[in-house]
Amino acid sequence: MNLNRLLLTGISCLIFLSGCASHKAPIKKVYKIHTNQTYKNNTTSNTTINSTQNKNNIDKIDKNNIAKLKDYKVSTDYFPSVSQDERVRFLVLHYTAINTELSLKVLTQKDVSAHYLVNDYDDKTINLLVDETKRAWHAGVSSWKGLDNLNFTSIGIEIVNLGNTVSPNYYAPFPEYQIKKVGQLTQDIVNRYGILPTNVVGHSDIAPGRKPDPGPLFPWKQLYTEYGVGAWYDDVDKVLFMDQFPWDTTSTYFVTDVQNSLNKYGYKVPVTGIMDTQTKKVIIAFQMHFRPEKYDGTVDAETWSILKALNKKYNP
Protein backbone atom coordinates (compact mmCIF):
# COMPACT_ATOMS: atom_id res chain seq x y z
CA MET A 1 0.00 0.00 0.00
CA ASN A 2 1.55 3.36 -1.05
CA LEU A 3 1.76 6.46 1.16
CA ASN A 4 -1.16 8.26 -0.51
CA ARG A 5 -3.44 5.26 0.05
CA LEU A 6 -2.38 5.01 3.68
CA LEU A 7 -3.17 8.67 4.25
CA LEU A 8 -6.54 8.32 2.50
CA THR A 9 -7.44 5.27 4.61
CA GLY A 10 -6.51 7.07 7.83
CA ILE A 11 -8.61 10.10 6.94
CA SER A 12 -11.58 7.92 5.99
CA CYS A 13 -11.43 6.05 9.30
CA LEU A 14 -11.30 9.29 11.27
CA ILE A 15 -14.40 10.47 9.42
CA PHE A 16 -16.11 7.12 10.18
CA LEU A 17 -15.58 7.43 13.92
CA SER A 18 -16.40 11.13 13.96
CA GLY A 19 -19.79 10.30 12.49
CA CYS A 20 -20.72 8.63 15.77
CA ALA A 21 -20.60 11.95 17.64
CA SER A 22 -23.38 14.50 17.94
CA HIS A 23 -21.60 17.30 19.81
CA LYS A 24 -18.17 18.13 21.03
CA ALA A 25 -17.03 16.07 24.01
CA PRO A 26 -14.16 16.81 26.40
CA ILE A 27 -10.93 14.87 26.27
CA LYS A 28 -11.09 11.85 28.53
CA LYS A 29 -8.35 10.03 30.37
CA VAL A 30 -8.02 6.34 29.57
CA TYR A 31 -8.37 3.87 32.41
CA LYS A 32 -7.69 0.15 32.19
CA ILE A 33 -10.04 -2.56 33.34
CA HIS A 34 -8.91 -6.17 33.55
CA THR A 35 -11.24 -8.98 32.63
CA ASN A 36 -10.29 -10.92 35.76
CA GLN A 37 -11.70 -8.11 37.88
CA THR A 38 -15.19 -6.70 38.34
CA TYR A 39 -16.00 -4.11 35.69
CA LYS A 40 -16.46 -0.55 36.88
CA ASN A 41 -19.78 -0.09 38.60
CA ASN A 42 -21.10 3.38 39.27
CA THR A 43 -22.44 2.20 42.61
CA THR A 44 -19.46 1.11 44.64
CA SER A 45 -20.06 1.75 48.33
CA ASN A 46 -22.65 -0.04 50.43
CA THR A 47 -25.00 1.91 52.68
CA THR A 48 -27.60 0.47 55.04
CA ILE A 49 -31.08 1.88 54.48
CA ASN A 50 -33.52 2.79 57.27
CA SER A 51 -36.58 3.67 55.21
CA THR A 52 -40.22 3.55 56.24
CA GLN A 53 -40.86 2.02 52.82
CA ASN A 54 -37.87 -0.33 52.55
CA LYS A 55 -36.78 -1.30 56.05
CA ASN A 56 -33.74 -3.54 56.30
CA ASN A 57 -33.12 -3.01 52.59
CA ILE A 58 -29.56 -2.56 51.34
CA ASP A 59 -28.69 -0.48 48.30
CA LYS A 60 -25.55 1.06 46.94
CA ILE A 61 -24.73 4.73 46.73
CA ASP A 62 -21.92 6.34 44.80
CA LYS A 63 -20.78 9.00 47.24
CA ASN A 64 -19.12 10.90 44.40
CA ASN A 65 -22.56 11.64 42.96
CA ILE A 66 -24.18 13.05 46.10
CA ALA A 67 -24.42 16.80 46.79
CA LYS A 68 -21.75 17.97 49.25
CA LEU A 69 -23.01 21.04 51.10
CA LYS A 70 -21.16 23.31 53.48
CA ASP A 71 -23.99 23.98 55.93
CA TYR A 72 -26.28 20.99 55.53
CA LYS A 73 -26.21 17.22 55.80
CA VAL A 74 -27.64 15.17 52.94
CA SER A 75 -29.52 12.33 54.61
CA THR A 76 -29.90 8.91 53.00
CA ASP A 77 -32.30 7.63 55.67
CA TYR A 78 -35.11 7.31 53.11
CA PHE A 79 -33.02 6.11 50.21
CA PRO A 80 -34.03 4.67 47.79
CA SER A 81 -37.38 5.89 46.54
CA VAL A 82 -39.42 3.13 44.95
CA SER A 83 -40.36 5.37 42.00
CA GLN A 84 -37.22 5.06 39.90
CA ASP A 85 -35.52 3.04 37.22
CA GLU A 86 -32.23 3.00 35.37
CA ARG A 87 -31.37 5.76 32.95
CA VAL A 88 -29.45 3.23 30.85
CA ARG A 89 -31.91 1.34 28.65
CA PHE A 90 -29.82 0.41 25.61
CA LEU A 91 -26.48 -1.19 24.85
CA VAL A 92 -24.99 -0.23 21.48
CA LEU A 93 -22.12 -2.14 19.85
CA HIS A 94 -19.79 -0.64 17.25
CA TYR A 95 -16.58 -1.39 15.44
CA THR A 96 -13.90 1.28 15.15
CA ALA A 97 -12.64 0.59 11.57
CA ILE A 98 -9.13 1.48 12.77
CA ASN A 99 -6.45 -0.18 14.92
CA THR A 100 -6.26 -0.11 18.71
CA GLU A 101 -3.69 2.64 19.05
CA LEU A 102 -5.52 5.02 16.74
CA SER A 103 -8.89 4.06 18.24
CA LEU A 104 -7.73 5.09 21.71
CA LYS A 105 -6.46 8.37 20.36
CA VAL A 106 -9.62 9.21 18.43
CA LEU A 107 -12.02 8.10 21.18
CA THR A 108 -10.25 10.14 23.87
CA GLN A 109 -9.09 13.23 21.96
CA LYS A 110 -11.68 13.83 19.24
CA ASP A 111 -15.37 14.72 19.13
CA VAL A 112 -16.46 11.10 19.55
CA SER A 113 -16.33 8.70 22.49
CA ALA A 114 -17.62 5.45 23.92
CA HIS A 115 -17.84 4.05 27.42
CA TYR A 116 -15.63 1.06 26.64
CA LEU A 117 -13.11 0.03 24.03
CA VAL A 118 -12.42 -3.66 23.43
CA ASN A 119 -8.98 -3.87 21.84
CA ASP A 120 -7.86 -6.50 19.34
CA TYR A 121 -5.05 -7.84 21.52
CA ASP A 122 -5.12 -11.30 23.07
CA ASP A 123 -4.70 -9.91 26.60
CA LYS A 124 -6.76 -9.35 29.75
CA THR A 125 -7.50 -5.65 29.27
CA ILE A 126 -10.61 -3.67 28.36
CA ASN A 127 -10.38 0.11 28.28
CA LEU A 128 -12.86 2.30 30.16
CA LEU A 129 -13.04 5.68 28.42
CA VAL A 130 -16.21 7.30 29.83
CA ASP A 131 -17.82 6.71 33.22
CA GLU A 132 -21.10 4.83 32.86
CA THR A 133 -22.92 7.65 34.65
CA LYS A 134 -21.84 10.05 31.90
CA ARG A 135 -23.10 10.41 28.35
CA ALA A 136 -20.70 9.23 25.65
CA TRP A 137 -20.85 10.47 22.05
CA HIS A 138 -21.13 7.22 20.13
CA ALA A 139 -24.63 6.89 18.65
CA GLY A 140 -25.07 10.18 16.78
CA VAL A 141 -28.32 10.56 14.85
CA SER A 142 -30.14 7.42 15.96
CA SER A 143 -33.51 5.91 16.74
CA TRP A 144 -34.81 2.76 18.42
CA LYS A 145 -38.29 1.91 19.69
CA GLY A 146 -39.52 5.43 19.12
CA LEU A 147 -36.67 7.11 20.98
CA ASP A 148 -34.15 9.35 19.23
CA ASN A 149 -30.57 10.29 20.12
CA LEU A 150 -29.61 7.16 22.05
CA ASN A 151 -26.52 8.83 23.48
CA PHE A 152 -28.73 9.93 26.38
CA THR A 153 -29.93 6.47 27.35
CA SER A 154 -27.27 4.00 26.27
CA ILE A 155 -23.87 2.55 26.98
CA GLY A 156 -21.62 2.36 23.95
CA ILE A 157 -18.95 -0.27 23.33
CA GLU A 158 -16.43 0.19 20.53
CA ILE A 159 -14.74 -2.98 19.27
CA VAL A 160 -11.44 -2.67 17.43
CA ASN A 161 -12.11 -4.17 14.02
CA LEU A 162 -11.32 -2.89 10.52
CA GLY A 163 -14.84 -3.57 9.26
CA ASN A 164 -15.08 -3.15 5.51
CA THR A 165 -12.37 -0.50 5.15
CA VAL A 166 -10.07 -2.84 3.24
CA SER A 167 -12.74 -3.63 0.64
CA PRO A 168 -16.46 -2.71 0.46
CA ASN A 169 -17.36 -6.36 -0.05
CA TYR A 170 -15.09 -7.75 2.67
CA TYR A 171 -15.63 -7.51 6.42
CA ALA A 172 -12.87 -8.31 8.90
CA PRO A 173 -13.64 -11.22 11.26
CA PHE A 174 -13.66 -10.96 15.05
CA PRO A 175 -11.12 -13.25 16.80
CA GLU A 176 -12.51 -15.56 19.47
CA TYR A 177 -10.45 -14.01 22.29
CA GLN A 178 -12.00 -10.63 21.45
CA ILE A 179 -15.53 -12.05 21.47
CA LYS A 180 -14.87 -13.46 24.96
CA LYS A 181 -14.06 -9.95 26.15
CA VAL A 182 -17.19 -8.57 24.52
CA GLY A 183 -19.26 -11.42 25.95
CA GLN A 184 -18.20 -10.92 29.56
CA LEU A 185 -18.44 -7.13 29.34
CA THR A 186 -21.89 -7.06 27.76
CA GLN A 187 -23.18 -9.73 30.13
CA ASP A 188 -22.07 -7.66 33.10
CA ILE A 189 -23.68 -4.47 31.77
CA VAL A 190 -26.95 -6.14 30.76
CA ASN A 191 -27.30 -7.84 34.14
CA ARG A 192 -26.58 -4.72 36.17
CA TYR A 193 -28.97 -2.47 34.27
CA GLY A 194 -31.60 -5.05 33.37
CA ILE A 195 -31.33 -4.17 29.68
CA LEU A 196 -33.96 -5.95 27.61
CA PRO A 197 -32.72 -8.40 24.95
CA THR A 198 -34.21 -6.32 22.14
CA ASN A 199 -32.37 -3.24 23.43
CA VAL A 200 -28.95 -4.75 22.75
CA VAL A 201 -28.30 -3.40 19.28
CA GLY A 202 -25.67 -2.55 16.73
CA HIS A 203 -24.96 0.90 15.39
CA SER A 204 -26.41 -0.26 12.08
CA ASP A 205 -29.72 -1.07 13.81
CA ILE A 206 -30.18 2.42 15.21
CA ALA A 207 -28.74 4.24 12.17
CA PRO A 208 -29.65 2.08 9.14
CA GLY A 209 -27.83 3.02 5.96
CA ARG A 210 -25.68 5.56 7.77
CA LYS A 211 -23.64 3.06 9.75
CA PRO A 212 -22.81 -0.60 8.99
CA ASP A 213 -21.13 -1.59 12.26
CA PRO A 214 -20.59 -4.00 13.88
CA GLY A 215 -21.14 -5.66 10.50
CA PRO A 216 -22.43 -9.02 9.27
CA LEU A 217 -19.59 -11.02 10.82
CA PHE A 218 -20.33 -9.98 14.38
CA PRO A 219 -21.53 -13.15 16.19
CA TRP A 220 -24.86 -12.01 17.61
CA LYS A 221 -26.08 -15.59 17.94
CA GLN A 222 -22.99 -16.60 19.92
CA LEU A 223 -23.48 -13.64 22.23
CA TYR A 224 -27.03 -14.83 22.84
CA THR A 225 -26.35 -18.54 23.29
CA GLU A 226 -23.12 -18.35 25.33
CA TYR A 227 -23.65 -15.18 27.38
CA GLY A 228 -27.42 -14.64 27.40
CA VAL A 229 -26.97 -11.21 25.83
CA GLY A 230 -29.26 -9.77 23.19
CA ALA A 231 -32.14 -11.28 21.25
CA TRP A 232 -32.37 -14.26 18.93
CA TYR A 233 -35.26 -16.12 17.34
CA ASP A 234 -36.37 -19.69 18.07
CA ASP A 235 -35.84 -22.06 15.15
CA VAL A 236 -39.19 -23.77 15.70
CA ASP A 237 -41.00 -20.44 15.22
CA LYS A 238 -38.93 -19.63 12.15
CA VAL A 239 -39.95 -22.93 10.55
CA LEU A 240 -43.56 -22.31 11.49
CA PHE A 241 -43.61 -18.94 9.74
CA MET A 242 -41.74 -20.27 6.71
CA ASP A 243 -44.86 -22.29 5.91
CA GLN A 244 -46.95 -19.11 6.10
CA PHE A 245 -44.82 -16.91 3.85
CA PRO A 246 -46.98 -14.98 1.36
CA TRP A 247 -45.16 -15.36 -1.93
CA ASP A 248 -46.71 -12.20 -3.42
CA THR A 249 -44.05 -9.84 -2.08
CA THR A 250 -44.91 -6.96 -4.40
CA SER A 251 -48.31 -6.12 -2.94
CA THR A 252 -48.91 -3.02 -0.86
CA TYR A 253 -50.31 -5.24 1.88
CA PHE A 254 -47.09 -7.28 2.12
CA VAL A 255 -44.78 -4.25 2.17
CA THR A 256 -46.94 -2.50 4.77
CA ASP A 257 -46.89 -5.63 6.92
CA VAL A 258 -43.08 -5.80 6.72
CA GLN A 259 -42.75 -2.11 7.63
CA ASN A 260 -45.11 -2.48 10.58
CA SER A 261 -43.26 -5.59 11.77
CA LEU A 262 -39.89 -3.83 11.61
CA ASN A 263 -41.31 -0.88 13.55
CA LYS A 264 -42.77 -3.25 16.10
CA TYR A 265 -39.36 -4.81 16.71
CA GLY A 266 -37.69 -1.42 17.16
CA TYR A 267 -36.51 -0.07 13.81
CA LYS A 268 -37.61 3.31 12.50
CA VAL A 269 -39.40 2.71 9.20
CA PRO A 270 -41.90 4.94 7.40
CA VAL A 271 -45.07 2.93 6.73
CA THR A 272 -45.68 3.78 3.10
CA GLY A 273 -46.65 0.45 1.54
CA ILE A 274 -43.79 1.05 -0.89
CA MET A 275 -40.43 -0.71 -0.82
CA ASP A 276 -38.60 2.62 -0.70
CA THR A 277 -34.91 3.31 -0.13
CA GLN A 278 -35.23 3.79 3.64
CA THR A 279 -37.14 0.53 4.03
CA LYS A 280 -34.44 -1.34 2.11
CA LYS A 281 -31.74 0.20 4.31
CA VAL A 282 -33.56 -1.02 7.41
CA ILE A 283 -34.02 -4.50 5.94
CA ILE A 284 -30.28 -4.67 5.22
CA ALA A 285 -29.52 -3.68 8.82
CA PHE A 286 -31.96 -6.31 10.06
CA GLN A 287 -30.40 -8.98 7.84
CA MET A 288 -26.86 -8.08 8.91
CA HIS A 289 -27.96 -8.68 12.50
CA PHE A 290 -30.18 -11.75 12.16
CA ARG A 291 -29.59 -13.17 8.69
CA PRO A 292 -25.97 -12.27 7.77
CA GLU A 293 -25.65 -14.89 5.04
CA LYS A 294 -27.61 -12.59 2.71
CA TYR A 295 -28.08 -8.89 3.36
CA ASP A 296 -29.35 -7.48 0.08
CA GLY A 297 -32.47 -5.68 1.30
CA THR A 298 -34.82 -8.23 -0.27
CA VAL A 299 -37.47 -9.74 2.00
CA ASP A 300 -37.35 -13.43 1.19
CA ALA A 301 -39.09 -16.20 3.12
CA GLU A 302 -36.25 -16.58 5.64
CA THR A 303 -35.97 -12.87 6.41
CA TRP A 304 -39.74 -12.56 6.81
CA SER A 305 -39.94 -15.67 9.01
CA ILE A 306 -37.11 -14.51 11.28
CA LEU A 307 -38.77 -11.11 11.72
CA LYS A 308 -42.09 -12.73 12.58
CA ALA A 309 -40.42 -15.21 14.96
CA LEU A 310 -38.63 -12.40 16.81
CA ASN A 311 -41.82 -10.42 17.30
CA LYS A 312 -43.64 -13.53 18.47
CA LYS A 313 -40.95 -14.12 21.09
CA TYR A 314 -40.30 -10.58 22.29
CA ASN A 315 -43.33 -8.51 21.24
CA PRO A 316 -46.36 -10.82 21.47
Contacts of 244 (CB under 8 A, 6+ apart): 305, 308
The residue from 132, 158, 226, 302 that is catalytic is 158
Eight-class DSSP state of 173: P
d(CA 215, CA 163): 7
Tell me if residue 300 falls in helix, strand or coil.
coil
For strands 31-34 and 125-128, give the pairing: antiparallel
**Radius of gyration, alpha carbons of the chain:** 21
158 is catalytic: yes
d(CA 88, CA 294): 32
d(CA 17, CA 294): 26
d(CA 212, CA 14): 15
CB of 112 within 8 A of CB of 130?
A: no
Sequence letter at residue 268: K
CB of 227 within 8 A of CB of 187?
A: yes
Which element (helix H / strand E) includes 47?
strand 45-48
d(CA 182, CA 173): 14
> According to the 3-state scheme, what is the secondary structure of 82-129?
CCCCCCCCEEEEEECCCCHHHHHHHHHHCCCCCCEEECCCCCCEEEEC
d(CA 51, CA 37): 33
- The catalytic site residues sit at 158
